[in-house]
């Protein structure tokens, strides 16, 4: 598993990904931006290194978006449905460590839709904040 900051080479792949009807089910915003709006947003997020990609055998398997809400860093993860098992767990755990190293502060994980991954993260050392958030910080 390779975790890396997204770059402009990922822009179009993420654009197609966010339009997928299955992925739209798990987003709070049901409006799909046009491609030019997406490019402006994507480029701004990449400059801040706030979009990450998980790669397995050179295939994009997951996307992480880091947002700052007041003083809290919140990561939202989107996995291709086929990768919601062990590989998804590996991606979310690795992505949180990657983000923690880059930002130097705890990462809150927002609304994991997969209860199995959520439970596995709790068992691997993440702490529960409430029903919607887990927290990752290095021990």
As a whole number of angstroms, the distance between CA 57 and CA 29 comes to 31
CA nearest neighbour of 66 among 130, 5, 132:
5
Residue 101 — very low, low, confident or very high, per pLDDT cuts 50/70/90? Answer: very high
**CATH number reported for the structural domain that contains residue 42 in this entry:** 3.40.630.30
Determine the pLDDT at residue 23: 67
User: What's the total number of domains in the chain?
Assistant: 1
Pairing of strands 127-128, 107-110: unpaired
Residue 106, pLDDT above cutoff 80: yes
Which residues constitute the domain of residue 29? 2-136
* Confidence band, pLDDT 50/70/90 cuts, at residue 36: very high
User: Rounded to a whole number, what is the distance in angstroms from the first to the last CA of the chain?
Assistant: 22
């Amino acid at each position: 598993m390779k975790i890396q900051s997204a770059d402009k080479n990922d822009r179009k792949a993420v654009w197609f990904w966010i339009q997928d009807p299955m992925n739209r089910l798990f987003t709070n915003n049901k409006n799909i931006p046009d491609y030019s709006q997406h490019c402006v947003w994507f480029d701004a997020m990449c400059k801040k290194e706030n979009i990450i990609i998980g790669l397995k055998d050179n295939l994009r398997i997951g996307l992480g978006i880091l947002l700052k809400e007041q003083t809290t860093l919140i990561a939202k993860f989107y996995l291709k449905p086929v990768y919601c098992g062990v590989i998804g767990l590996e991606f979310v755990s690795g992505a949180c460590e990657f983000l923690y190293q880059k930002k130097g502060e705890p990462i809150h994980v927002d609304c994991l839709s997969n209860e199995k991954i959520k439970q596995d993260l709790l068992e691997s050392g993440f702490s529960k904040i409430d029903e919607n958030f887990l927290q990752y910080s290095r021990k």
